Structure 1
């Protein structure tokens, strides 16, 4: 175990430590695409994530995975509490990633999982855009302007070479201003504040929503605004969309059939799940067909999978060890 005494110490990595490994956005997309391919071919051990819900519209999820090809083994313990910012001035999403040695089961690392969750989620959308979006799209819409929204825009520009305009919307106007201040210098496309969800939807060919996940949908995007050729990426389940929109998509993909079926049992889809064409990883692996023409309305519902966290977490761990980043703690 490269400079780590197995069984007597672990490596502890803060969020700053994870970022300090200097894994690039392109590398994150590469690692996540590989994780999705592995999942599509079912070359892993990953049960559906289970959860508890201490408060209404909150969640705490246990997400284990073992990926033999990469000898990556561990679990993410993640939570989402929408009122955190208002109550405590803290982000709604938090997480820890625990990595284990795949041969002994002993823990080798505990690291911040919040940064990993943010970048891998945006990377899943970026990979989805490559498989399901119209390749020549010049417009992208981002609903939700927190850290996840910022990272989405950074990564989307890497997979949309013709991108010219990014439309953003958030009920918190200051969040929109902060996003523009921070992200506009990093991309060539022009970021524009939409005055409403309607303006964003009608101005964007590819749309991602990363808002609060509510126990039941609270539709705010009218079906009549959604046109042929739209590609919709959902990081917040069916929260914002009307059921008729979800139901009339030409193709509806999920990241994990097993997890979405479990979420259906939890009650997150009171109107039911539509016919599912397959998993995103199956498209990445070439087992299912993605977009076939420019007029298809395609919906991709990604609720997050442990394979993405553990594959990326393993890369962070390896680079941190190699560059002497983080703190070794005794067991």
Structure 2
């Protein structure tokens, strides 16, 4: 800004790639700093409690208003606002629309954009493509969990749902745990499984074996890290389920999306330890919500944590936030036999952090298109 003039930087998908959005090592480092700030409380997200994942626009199941969009599975529009302090001191809003039918138009299911804004004036600083950015931060947060929560030198990684989230997550897993040499895969279609395997083969020559599994149980057996990257199913009961008997001692179980899990599994102390990216976010979602009646609870693992607390299966103190572990105030894994369960819900502070880092790289390397909002305040009169 200069004498009332406002310019901002526009970054297309290609610009984001040129600016280094795919730098997984850098993204993991940025997420580590983000979780430190999260633990210190130097952040704000939506809602009065400052911990909302985002604001969703819902549509009716039926309407007599011409042109009104109707509710459908995974059809949604969201805005995800956040402020992140520390070296970032930046406000941002990630927005996206999601429609599974986009595939018929050769478009991704979700189309995302991120706006960065000056936290004092509200002036736009950057407007950028956020599909890769969002996948990167999701993968990096999963990798951060593997860094702090996995047993020493894990060898076997299981991927349930080899889609976009899992592709970026596997990059981060191998970045932080290079001892991984075998990947077990459970997917719903051969095309996605083959694409995933070819992607990993091209980029990670340290992986010596791929095992395609017919069931979630088979995929979980004998694995050191078990990752669920599936999308929400149309019906609650069709989401993937994990049973404690399938999980070996010392394994790390994590989900970035939908997972059904028994509260008794979560409550099996001291054999099991639960870790959240941000428990306050899940407790906010659960406020005023009727608890499930099924033995298995939650289409999102973090909500299972909340349900277990409400059922008095575990106490709030039993749930450790990853930020406390990173800051050295809590211990993650207490021993090599302990099973750790880690919930990844996704937060807009992560988008702001990595968006800021990529923006800085774009400025340094003269990437993107500078756009003018207005020349001076006089032009507004």
TM-score, normalised relative to structure 1: 0.89
Match of 1:161 in 2: 178
- 1-structure distance, mates of 2:4, 2:151: 48
The CA deviation at 1:261 is 1.5
Q: Distance in 2 between matches of 1:302 and 1:49?
A: 12
2 CA distance for matches of 1:319 and 1:6?
Answer: 26
* In structure 2, distance between residues paired with 1:158 and 1:216: 34
Residue deviations 1:156-211 (CA, integer Å, cap 9, x gap): 11111321111122102110101111221211113332232222100411111111
CA change 1:268–1:285 in 2 (3 A) is farther
Aligned positions of 1:199-214 closer than 5 A: 199-214=218-233
Aligned residues: 327
How far residue 7 of structure 1 moved from its aligned partner, in angstroms, is 4.6
What are the ranges of 5 or more consecutive residues in structure 1 without an aligned counterpart? Answer: none
Correspondence for 1:311: 353
Check the 8 A contact 1:216/1:269 in 2, yes or no. no
1:229 counterpart residue number: 250
Tell me the distance in 2 between the aligned counterparts of 1:40 and 1:16.
34
1:219–1:242 CA contact under 8 A, matched in 2: no
When structure 1 is superposed on structure 2, of 70-79 and 153-162 the one drifting more is 70-79
- TM-score normalised to structure 2 length: 0.78
How far 1:267 sits from its partner (Å)? 5.4
Tell me the residue number matched to 2:10: 12
Partner of 2:366: 324
Deviation at 1:248, TM superposition (A): 3.5
CA distance in 1, matches of 2:337, 2:367: 48
Correspondence 1:112 to 2:129: yes
Query: What CA distance in whole angstroms lies between the structure 2 residues aligned with 1:174 and 1:85?
Result: 18
Q: Deviations over 1:129-182 (max 9, x none)?
A: 111111221111111112211111111111113211111221021101011112
Give me the whole-angstrom Cα distance separating, in 2, the residues matched to 1:268 and 1:156. 36
* Structure 2 residues without counterparts, runs of 5 or longer: 60-70, 298-303, 309-313, 374-381
Larger Rg: 2
Q: Which residue of 2 aligns with 1:248?
A: 268
